[in-house]
């Protein structure tokens, strides 16, 4: 089974620029997690600090009992052998063919003969759809192929922790879907702990067991997927909806004044899923005509931008609408079940009372009959009534 990664109070600055502060989370062993965040919020820096390439100013990263942030070089190198990392640009060795790139970790760390090396390398390259591309040089292939070769290289030593930096950027939607499926299949096969750093919403919705989001130098949330997918946090909701209105701007962040105006103007995005779910506060909207460029929630339902929050705010309660929480990808038929699914469900059900209401509702709505029997939940309606 994969290894748990515990991050405690991590803070990092470059000169005067603070990237993020006080990030604490646990990547549960053997589960798939996604770290979301707009570009430039330090996702890559976070990933690099998990492997000791970036030394944080404060905080700890515990892997297998070793604090990556402060351990000695020798231990660092030993711990890294448990990990496979795919870099944002693939980071292939430009002077070696794809085959030699993928074979590199095997040749460095094992005493396998050339025949075994070839078998493993070809298997991994076929896995990422690069069968037959072995002799090519990294300079001769597209960015997406480099990325997939980087993934093959990260997988070749059967790592227990797999870290993937933006597997989707530079890939077309179809290839992205294949990569998503590949990551889930991998998790089913080797039960590794996987962290995917991305800003791809589709991937975030369907792949992970847990999601976190970095924004404004902070970890906004990290937890079971249902929590973030049903979150009312303005930044989260804006990001998932891919909208302009909200705290995230074109530059790294909008300045605080703009955001404040927008928040009040839009009738309080935060309030929306709360009790007043009608049309915001007409008086407030009337007070500030044209300031908030976001239409009020009432309008939004009319515009009908898909499963937006206008629809969801009431919907969750109304009739078990699960628009906010799409079903998770399952392994390709024929592969073993993902053991992480049950482990995670046990954990989530144990801590259910600690989660926000919307998340609770989403989780309960998503239970199968077998799950309900397993956790002793017999009367769905009673639970539902108790919730709201």
Partner 1 sequence: MSADTAVPGIGALRQTGSLFSLAASVVAKTFRRPFQVRELIEQFWFIASVTILPTALVSVPFGAVIALQVGSLTRQLGAESFTGAASVLAVVQQASPLITALLVSGAAGSAICADIGARTVREEIDAMRVMGVSPVQRLIVPRVLGAMGVAVLLNGMVSVVGVMGGYYFNVIMQGGTPGAYLASFSALAHLPDLWISEIKALIFGFIAGVVAAHRGLSAKGGPKGVGDAVNQSVVIAFLLLFFVNLVLTAIYLQIVPAKGQ
Ligand X SMILES: Nc1ncnc2c1ncn2[C@@H]1O[C@H](COP(=O)(O)OP(=O)(O)O)[C@@H](O)[C@H]1O
List interacting residues with ligand X (CB under 6 A): 14, 19, 37, 39-45
Rule CB under 5 A: is residue 41 a binding residue for Mg ion? no
Give the contacts of 11 (CB within 8 A, at least 6 positions apart).
18, 20, 21, 22, 23, 56, 57, 58, 59
Strand, helix or coil for residue 11: strand
Minimum CB distance to ligand X smaller for 35 or for 361: 35
Give the contacts of 101 (CB within 8 A, at least 6 positions apart).
92, 93, 138, 149, 153
Rule CB under 8 A: is residue 87 a binding residue for partner 1? yes
Binding mask 136-175 for Mg ion (x = CB under 5 A): ----------------------------------------
Rule CB under 8 A: is residue 71 a binding residue for partner 1? no
**Secondary structure (DSSP) of 172-221:** -HHHHHHHHHHHHHHHHHH--EEEEE---HHHHHHS-SEEEEEETTEEEE
Which of 53, 62, 127, 259 is close enough to bind partner 1 by CB under 8 A?
53
Rule CB under 8 A: is residue 20 a binding residue for partner 1? no
Residue 219, strand partner residues:
214
Minimum CB distance to ligand X smaller for 42 or for 294: 42
Rounded Cα gap, residues 139 and 141, in angstroms: 6
Minimum CB distance to Mg ion smaller for 44 or for 79: 44
Strand, helix or coil for residue 20: strand
312: closest CA among 247, 37, 304?
304
Phi and psi angles of residue 25, each rounded to the nearest 5 degrees, phi first: -165, 165
- Judge whether 27 and 21 are in contact, CB under 8 Å: no
Question: Whole-angstrom distance between the N-terminal and C-terminal Cα of the chain?
Answer: 38
Minimum CB distance to ligand X smaller for 87 or for 99: 87
Which of 81, 244, 350, 357 is close enough to bind partner 1 by CB under 8 A?
81
Minimum CB distance to Mg ion smaller for 170 or for 366: 170
Provide, rounded to whole angstroms, the least separation between the CB of residue 43 and Mg ion.
5
Provide, rounded to whole angstroms, the least separation between the CB of residue 92 and partner 1.
7
Give me the residues that bind Mg ion (CB under 5 A), please. Answer: 44
Give me the residues that bind partner 1 (CB under 8 A), please. Answer: 13-16, 48, 51-53, 57, 77-78, 80-81, 83, 85, 87-89, 91-94, 104-105, 108-109, 150, 153
């Amino acid at each position: 089974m994969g290894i748990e990664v515990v991050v405690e109070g991590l803070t990092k600055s470059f000169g005067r620029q603070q990237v993020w502060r006080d990030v604490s989370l646990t990547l549960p062993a053997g589960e798939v997690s996604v770290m979301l965040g707009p570009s430039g919020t330090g996702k890559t820096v976070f990933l690099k600090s998990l492997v000791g390439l970036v030394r944080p100013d404060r905080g700890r990263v515990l892997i297998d009992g070793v604090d990556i942030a402060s351990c000695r070089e020798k231990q660092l190198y030993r711990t890294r052998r448990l990990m496979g990392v795919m870099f944002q640009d693939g980071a292939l060795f430009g002077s070696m063919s794809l085959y030699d790139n993928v074979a590199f970790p095997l040749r460095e760390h094992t005493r396998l003969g050339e025949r075994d090396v070839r078998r493993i390398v070809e298997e991994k390259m076929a896995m990422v759809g690069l069968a037959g591309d072995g002799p090519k040089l990294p300079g001769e292939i597209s960015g997406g192929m480099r990325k997939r070769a980087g993934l093959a290289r990260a997988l070749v030593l059967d790592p227990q922790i797999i870290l993937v930096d933006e597997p989707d950027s530079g890939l077309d939607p179809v290839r992205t879907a294949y990569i998503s499926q590949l990551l889930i299949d991998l998790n089913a096969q080797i039960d590794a702990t996987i962290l995917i750093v991305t800003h791809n919403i589709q991937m975030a919705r369907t792949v992970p067991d847990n999601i976190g989001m970095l924004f404004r130098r902070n970890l906004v949330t990290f937890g079971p997927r249902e929590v973030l997918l049903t979150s009312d946090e303005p930044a989260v909701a804006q990001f998932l909806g891919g909208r302009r209105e909200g705290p995230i701007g074109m530059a790294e962040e909008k300045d605080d004044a703009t955001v404040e105006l927008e928040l009040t103007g839009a009738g309080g995005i935060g309030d929306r899923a709360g009790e007043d779910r009608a049309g915001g506060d007409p008086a407030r909207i009337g007070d500030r005509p044209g300031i908030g460029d976001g239409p009020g929630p009432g309008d939004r339902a009319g515009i009908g931008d898909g499963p937006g929050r206008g629809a969801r705010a009431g919907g969750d309660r109304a009739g078990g609408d699960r628009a906010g929480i799409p079903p998770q990808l399952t392994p390709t038929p024929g592969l073993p079940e993902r053991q992480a699914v049950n482990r995670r469900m046990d954990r989530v059900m144990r801590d259910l009372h600690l989660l926000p209401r919307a998340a609770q509702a989403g989780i309960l709505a998503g239970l199968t009959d077998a799950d309900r029997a397993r956790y002793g939940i017999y009367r769905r309606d009673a639970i539902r009534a108790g919730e709201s």
